[in-house]
Amino acid sequence: MVLVVDDEPGVRELARRILESSGYGVLEAGDGQQALDVFASNVRVDFLMADLDMPVMRGEELAARMRILRPELRVLYVTAHSGALFRERPELLDGEAFLDKPFTVAGLLEAVSLLNRPRRTRRHWRACGARLSGKSCRDDSPDLSGRSVL
């Protein structure tokens, strides 16, 4: 189950439509507190897609609170300010990625796919220095050789 959290209803709806059309179950929340309420219900949220710049609670704070209860939670941060963000925080935790706004259908689906791949692929991703903004790098790991990782 994917929990999409963004204070912009249009962004939430677009993400929901894209993810549902690809077979994902989706829940929505308009801010961090609503997201915590959804998360606290007995719904199994495995994946968080959160806007970084929301009123009430930033996406990073939301993810940190949710990971207290579910450390394996995968997180996709969505932001229109990735340049500044990467200067502040050049390293990603395992199970995290960033996606630039506005995002494309392909960009969102590839970001979700990336986070669902085995750890060594995500490590390779970070090592290649590419970001989820339309750039790609080749994954040379034996089990996925030749596939483009975005």
Reply yes or no: is the peptide bond before residue 102 cis, omega within 30 of 0. Answer: yes
CA angle 88, 14, 95 (to 5 degrees): 40
Residue 81 is predicted with a pLDDT of 77
**Taking all residues of the chain, what is their mean pLDDT, rounded to a whole number?**
80
Instruction: Domain ranges for the chain, please list them.
Output: 2-149
How far, in Å, are 10, 15, 50, 107 from residue 102 at the CA level?
11, 11, 14, 10
- Domain spanning 2-149: which superfamily? Response regulator (3.40.50.2300)
Provide mean pLDDT across the span 135-144.
39
CA distance 67 to 23: 24
Which residues, 6+ apart, have CB-to-CB distance to 16 below 8 Å?
4, 26, 28
Provide mean pLDDT across the span 88-116.
87
Residue 136 DSSP class: -
More confident site: 108 or 121: 108
Please, which pLDDT band fits residue 63 given cuts at 50, 70 and 90?
very high
Dihedral pair phi/psi, residue 138, rounded to 5°: -85, 140
CA distance 146 to 129: 17
146: left (phi over 0), alpha (psi -120 to 50) or beta: left
Determine how many CB atoms are found less than 10 A away from the CB of residue 10. 8
More confident site: 89 or 106: 106
